[in-house]
Amino acid sequence: MASSHLKLALTYDVQQLRRELKHCLGKQWPLHFNNFDYEGDWRSISLRSASGNMDDIFAHSGDMSYVDTPLMAEVDYIRSVVDSWKCEKESVRLLALSPGSVIKPHKDRGCSYLDGSFRIHIPILTNKSVLFTVDGKELFLDEGTCWYMDFGKTHHIENRGETNRVHLIMDCIRNEWTDALFAKNAYDFELDPVEKEQEKATRALMIAELEKMDTDVARTLIAQMKNEKV
């Protein structure tokens, strides 16, 4: 079945990441906008956003295009890490979870690799008392490592330690380059049986609604959907 998480065979220079993080910490980091999903102090700053502003920390802003913020030009190594991913990037942010803070169990729509838009985590600062759970699996993400997480599945994070937990997070668009990378890292591209049945049921409902329209455009969409593999 499709992987809920994947540790990629990529590592980054922790000292350079920390040095540039120190520079970024001199900026103003807004509190995370989704205050229903966390307790404590969870902050972010953008290196790439829909508006081009550092304090614009929203992700997945529809069909809007994304541009680098001024901060991206100030962090040469982090920019080289982002550029090493040969795919389109949406938001690129630094997110900091303070000691004692909790991100409650929740799901983020549109963050699965199979959806075509996916999220990459690169830890810069962490501690052994950070509890990171995705789809019921407890993980430890070491500094300088690189992870894909399917946040369409239930996940939560607790910083039970005494130091901040800071990750570089990239929202990326799937392409042939990323397919090859994920395949090389043994990603399972198949939906699990339950998800596959749910996808089939959703598609059947969409086809039924399109059939009611009885238009050329609807018939074209129906043909496309029937030819697509689930």
Mean pLDDT of 197-205: 70
Tell me the fold of 5-184: Jelly Rolls (2.60.120)
At residue 198, the pLDDT reads 63
Determine what percent of the chain falls in helix, strand and coil, rounding each to the nearest 5.
Answer: 30, 30, 40
Model-level pTM? 0.81
For 119-164, the pLDDT digits (tens) are 999 999 999 999 999 999 999 999 999 999 998 899 999 999 999 9
What ranges do the domains of the chain cover? 5-184, 193-227
At residue 218, the pLDDT reads 79
Q: What is the token pair recorded at 162?
A: 């005494």
- Residues 175-205: b if buried by 16+ CB within 10 A, e if exposed: eeebeebbeeeebeeebeeebeeeeeeeeee
